[in-house]
Structure 1
Amino acid sequence: MFRLINRVVSSATRGLATVGVAAALVAVPRIASADTQIKMVLNWKYEGPQAWFFLAQDKGYFKAQGLDVQFDQGEGSGASIPKVAAGAYQAGFGDLNAIVELAAKEPAQAPIAVDVLYNTPPFAIVVKKDSPINTPKDLEGRTIGAPANDGALKLFPAFAKLAQIDISKVTVTNMAPNLREQMLQRGQVDAVFGYVTTVTFSAKAMGIDPSKKLRFIRYGDHGMDLYSNTVFFSRSFVKDQPEAVRGFLVALNHAIRDVIANPDAGVDAVMKREPLLKRDVEKEKLLATMRNDMSHPEIARIGLGDVDQARLKRDIAIVVDAAKLPRTPTPAEIFDGSFLPPRADRPSSL
């Protein structure tokens, strides 16, 4: 196993296409009991790519479904899963592969994914442009940094196996999320784990041009065509409140269509919650996420939110094999697409 240096660097502050939407704008009948409360933990601090969650709240789409939805900021795409499993939240937004890992170990506790929004793998290892690290194999003998709950870090054993990296020769160190790009630029680490979009915009916020100063070793280019962030609910909530789950996805889908048609409206909803954010950056981040993380070619066939069963089965097998998990969950244990709005109502492109 790779060596993990538990060196946590803390910080007191945090760094600051029109489509057809007619079907989505048709009034949808209320299908959940009045005042059904849902507490949801997001994948990260409030930011542009979460626009649809906030717009659905602000426009009353959740309320129209009889739902009272409240959001909390997250601490990483892998961190939201155990919070829902522990009962602190009914719903979350985070990495589907972390659900696979928990389902393999504690199937009764693992949440269930119901709407996979990030269908293109965003995971990457990032190095400076002039780094001698050109291939995954070059990571041997190097130190890679990441926040403890980073999704790319959690999937590194699987990536290392596919890319034939001797993981015992790699050192991993943790840092506060807002220090990741700084430590890379200062040479305190040789590389960092992260999502492509997240690192790109964090670098821009530091005045670094990622196209000129950084290189991305993408997991998807080395055999890891994995799904990523998904909306998920606790297993007990799905069982006890199925119509609330269905209503949540109807409202969210409505808001996603609104944001596709008018990204500025989505950014407005984000800025209401974090006025100190830079509006132009958050809009650019939102559009980049739609373009890079949510536009797998398969959505033209199955629609946004759904999964290809064969691809999901491969995804599960990769995670189970590389992490040496005790069992292989079935696709049905990980994802339930029965709560999604009808195929005709969901976007086919972004």
Structure 2
Amino acid sequence: MRRRPLIRLAAVSVLFTAAACGSSDGGDSSDGGTSSGGVRTVKVGLIPIVDVAPLYLGQKQGFFEKQGLKLEFTTAQGGAAIVPGVASGQFQFGFSNVTSLMVAQTNGVPVEAVANGIASTGIAGKDFSALMVKKDSAIKSPKELEGKKVAINTLKNINETAVRASVSKAGGDPDKVRFVELGFEQMPAALDSGEIDAAQVVEPAQAAVKSGGGRVIASPLVDVAPKLTVAMYFTSTRYAKQNPEVVKKFQDATAESLAYADSHPDEARRIVTTYTTIPANVLARVTLPRWPAEANRSSIVDLMKLGYEDGLFKSPPDVEKLLP
């Protein structure tokens, strides 16, 4: 059964409170600068993964230049570094999963989503993310994960909520699952060695597990909601208020980039090799996410409700205020 802890998530609260306090009076006033020809340069904090291919592809195709923008990319290991970077004005825009943005909002961090990022494929067993076990595992269903060790990349975040949803849907008790935090890149080896019983992986880790005979027992992001909006691009509320025309240009160019990537998957795969170390032969086996131009608002509400029940937020997030 789900339960909502009464205690505050101290580590998360400290992180995001520090991010909010780290913003100086002039921190968000910077618009990134203007380069030759009147093209404005804006800094974007990204994670070097398949998900952000549309921005690299859009820059290459000239969609941002057409809007008078040039993107300067800075990569980070995860949203934990990107959210405070945007809040403090280090970046004008950033990329983060929706749950992290809702956690930030409920902890008073002044950020808001401005453009869609990625979505689940909505197809169970054929998503870019999966709950997997190794080839010879006796586990056939998420219900059988009670008492078992399941790896997720970040505790108390979107993947924990998603796995809990799959366990509940299968008739199990998610409170009996032993969640452990492990980097996606470490999951295939940990699964193979028996260090963990199951892993909630994303690409290309999913392709790596499959190459070793691993099996998909659920598609947690699909179980949360049909065609779940998983991540979005965001900015600080101060930057949005002070630079509405730049935000609108970023939104328009990003929407065009998302549509192009979604309809040109081969080009999206190729562009990934320019900013990651993922080999082309591995990318050929990777299941790509969907890149719709618009967020699925109802799916985000479903994710918010599950996260609130799990105790991720100290108060219900204001989804309408967070989304563009």
| TM-score w.r.t. length of structure 2 | 0.72
- The answer to whether the aligner puts 1:112 opposite 2:108 as a matched pair is no
Q: Which residue of 1 aligns with 2:220?
A: 219
- What is the 5 A alignment of 1:296-315? 304-315=292-303
Distance 2:261 2:198 in 1: 34
SS in 1 for 2:274: helix
Distance apart, 1:57 and its partner CA: 1.9
The one of 43, 46, 56 aligned to 1:39: 43
Q: Which residue of 2 aligns with 1:88?
A: 90
- What is the 5 A alignment of 1:158-237? 165-195=172-202, 197-203=203-209, 207-208=211-212, 212-220=213-221, 222-225=223-226, 226-237=228-239
Identity fraction in percent: 20
Q: Which residue of 1 aligns with 2:26?
A: none
Distance 1:170 1:86 in 2: 37
Say if 2:87 and 2:110, in contact at 8 Å, map to a contact too.
yes
Distance apart, 1:116 and its partner CA: 4.3
Residue identity matched to 1:294: R
Q: CA separation of 1:57/1:222 partners in 2, compared to 1, >3 Å: closer, same or farther? A: closer
- What is the 5 A alignment of 1:16-95? 34-42=38-46, 44-47=47-50, 49-76=51-78, 80-95=82-97
Q: Which residue of 2 aligns with 1:23?
A: none
SS in 1 for 2:111: coil
Q: Which residue of 2 aligns with 1:279?
A: 280
Distance apart, 1:237 and its partner CA: 1.9
Q: CA separation of 1:127/1:135 partners in 2, compared to 1, >3 Å: closer, same or farther? A: same
- Per-residue CA distance 1:65-124 (angstroms, 9 max, x = gap): 222311123424666434433443221222112212222232x52332432431546554
Say if 1:159 and 1:224, in contact at 8 Å, map to a contact too.
no
Distance 1:76 1:261 in 2: 27
Distance 1:282 1:117 in 2: 17
Residue identity matched to 1:180: M
- Per-residue CA distance 1:117-164 (angstroms, 9 max, x = gap): 315465543212432323333212111223347741365566666666
Distance 1:262 1:324 in 2: 36
Residue identity matched to 1:278: P
Q: CA separation of 1:232/1:120 partners in 2, compared to 1, >3 Å: closer, same or farther? A: farther
- The answer to whether the aligner puts 1:331 opposite 2:309 as a matched pair is no
Say if 1:271 and 1:277, in contact at 8 Å, map to a contact too.
yes
Q: Which residue of 2 aligns with 1:132?
A: 138
SS in 1 for 2:110: coil
Distance 2:175 2:274 in 1: 46
Say if 1:96 and 1:230, in contact at 8 Å, map to a contact too.
yes
Distance 1:312 1:239 in 2: 24
Q: CA separation of 1:160/1:102 partners in 2, compared to 1, >3 Å: closer, same or farther? A: farther
Distance 2:274 2:221 in 1: 35
Distance 1:311 1:264 in 2: 28
Residue identity matched to 1:243: E
Residue identity matched to 2:140: N
Say if 2:119 and 2:290, in contact at 8 Å, map to a contact too.
yes
SS in 2 for 1:141: coil
Q: Which residue of 2 aligns with 1:18?
A: none
Q: CA separation of 1:201/1:86 partners in 2, compared to 1, >3 Å: closer, same or farther? A: farther
Say if 2:167 and 2:173, in contact at 8 Å, map to a contact too.
yes
Q: Which residue of 2 aligns with 1:21?
A: none
Q: Which residue of 2 aligns with 1:146?
A: 152
SS in 2 for 1:101: helix
Say if 1:104 and 1:325, in contact at 8 Å, map to a contact too.
yes
Say if 1:81 and 1:111, in contact at 8 Å, map to a contact too.
no
SS in 1 for 2:41: strand
Larger CA deviation: 91-100 vs 143-152: 143-152
Residue identity matched to 1:140: E
Residue identity matched to 2:116: D
RMSD: 3.3
Distance apart, 1:283 and its partner CA: 4.5
Distance 1:73 1:176 in 2: 16
Q: CA separation of 1:35/1:182 partners in 2, compared to 1, >3 Å: closer, same or farther? A: same
Say if 2:48 and 2:275, in contact at 8 Å, map to a contact too.
no
Residue identity matched to 2:43: K
Residue identity matched to 1:235: T
Q: Which residue of 1 aligns with 2:22?
A: none
Distance 2:255 2:131 in 1: 32
Distance apart, 1:230 and its partner CA: 1.5
Q: CA separation of 1:172/1:306 partners in 2, compared to 1, >3 Å: closer, same or farther? A: same
